[in-house]
Structure 1
Amino acid sequence: MSAVEKNSRRLSKEDILEKTAPLFASEGYDATSMRDLAKACGITPAALYHHFADKEQLYLEVLEYTFRRRIGRMGEALKGVEGFENKVRRVVEVLVDAVHDDELFLPMLRRELLVRDEKRLEYLATRVFAEPFREIMRVGRDLKPDNFKPSFLAASALALTIGHFTLEPVRRYLMPSDTPEDLRQTIIDHVTKLALEGMAKDRK
């Protein structure tokens, strides 16, 4: 038995998702072939097809695996958290940690938003973002019901946190003296304070 055949038997489906995600993140869907993906895993294309019907199925599962493990724990993270301010901070922490020092989440999200493939966007929305989105909207129940649209409130939370990391490569050149040693904590504190002060007058 060849080394490639032995490796294909050892690799689980999760192993394949882990090994192919960086290639999809760096090269994109169209520029990546099943041969490239199999090579990244150290297996044959035939072994790859044993787990996935085609490249599209593999890519969709990579998207779900990559995003859910980083942003899909919102409900679990909020369990037992009491008080509106603590809930807001926990939401921000989960969102920041999804993208902080991560080489997959932001590149893949940017690419999907630029490509605008409706099937993949719907897949991301329903299979990945729906659960954390609902959890963020639940936090907003502590606000007066007519002052914020729940879906816009959740979208703002995502935009504020993810947007900081998207713009950080530019911001640090605009204000290099403002660049903190602990970017993660600075963004958590800033976004939490901004959110709480902006919504303070709208609490029940």
Structure 2
Amino acid sequence: MARTIAKDHDQKREQILTNAAKVFATEGYDRASMSMLARECGISKANIYHYYDSKDALLFDILETYLRELRDVICGTDMTGLTPPEQLRSVIGVTLRAYQGADHEHQVQIGSMSALPEDQQTLLRGYQRDMVNFVRDIVLSIAPDVFSGDSNKLRAATMSVFGMLNWYYMWNTGAGADAREDYADLVTKLTLGGIPTL
């Protein structure tokens, strides 16, 4: 007879993902063990295996959940009635807010994604590419003449926006909502002021 799924299965799974991301980020993926992960989650080793059969499966679920949800939030930004510069400001603000509270997941993405099989990495890079392309299209719409026929310049400008956001993410992890909005204004003004000079 198949084992029934507990009513709080999804909640426990989310708690495992959050706690495991913390362990992977602070201890390193290679050094982490299933016993260590179970202890951090406050459950038995046998119980964690009920959810994940290996730490590889756990790593993939952490990153797949994080990047898919991040992609959906960023690419789902409502652009209705906004001019291209307003679209840029909106998506920058959405991105900074989405980053809040996801420090461990972001560190795991940077430091441990390469431990996954290539097919899983390809899927995760697809989520990243969707986000980059979404912002790229906004940047292009701001100054199409600047980037006409120069995809390298367009990519560099787009990735520079993400570079500014990731800098803030890595060095201002405790920043609250108001500080993030102020920085969103700063990044938007730097980008809009710099693009015409390219």
| Correspondence list, 1:78-97, <5 A | 78-97=78-97
| Correspondence list, 1:1-204, <5 A | 10-12=8-10, 13-100=13-100, 102-112=102-112, 117=115, 119=118, 122-126=122-126, 128-142=127-141, 143-144=144-145, 145-147=148-150, 149=152, 150-167=154-171, 182-200=178-196
User: What is the CA distance between 1:148 and its match in structure 2?
Assistant: 5.1
CA RMSD of aligned residues (A): 3.2
Identity across matched positions, percent: 22
Partner Cα distance (1:18, 1:193) in 2? 35
Any gaps of 5 or more consecutive residues in structure 2?
Answer: 1-5
Any gaps of 5 or more consecutive residues in structure 1?
Answer: 1-7, 170-180
Q: Please give the TM-score of this superposition, normalised by the length of structure 2.
A: 0.74
User: For each residue in 1:82-118, what CA deviation from the matched residue of structure 2 results, as whole angstroms up to 9, or x when unmatched?
Assistant: 21111110121122223345432443344348xx557
Residues 130, 97 of structure 1: alpha-carbon distance in 2 compared, 3 angstrom cutoff: same
Residues 168, 9 of structure 1: alpha-carbon distance in 2 compared, 3 angstrom cutoff: closer
User: Does the aligned pair in 1 maintain the 2:79–2:87 contact within 8 Å?
Assistant: no
Partner Cα distance (2:29, 2:81) in 1? 39
User: Does the aligned pair in 2 maintain the 1:71–1:132 contact within 8 Å?
Assistant: yes
Residues 78, 164 of structure 1: alpha-carbon distance in 2 compared, 3 angstrom cutoff: same
Partner Cα distance (1:16, 1:165) in 2? 23
User: For each residue in 1:125-147, what CA deviation from the matched residue of structure 2 results, as whole angstroms up to 9, or x when unmatched?
Assistant: 12x31221221122133122235
Residues 146, 198 of structure 1: alpha-carbon distance in 2 compared, 3 angstrom cutoff: farther
Q: Please give the TM-score of this superposition, normalised by the length of structure 1.
A: 0.72
Residues 83, 110 of structure 1: alpha-carbon distance in 2 compared, 3 angstrom cutoff: same
Matching residue of 1:173: none
User: Does the aligned pair in 1 maintain the 2:75–2:130 contact within 8 Å?
Assistant: yes
User: What is the CA distance between 1:69 and its match in structure 2?
Assistant: 3.1
Between 102-111 and 22-31, report the one with greater CA deviation.
Answer: 102-111
- What is the number of equivalent residue pairs in this alignment? 183
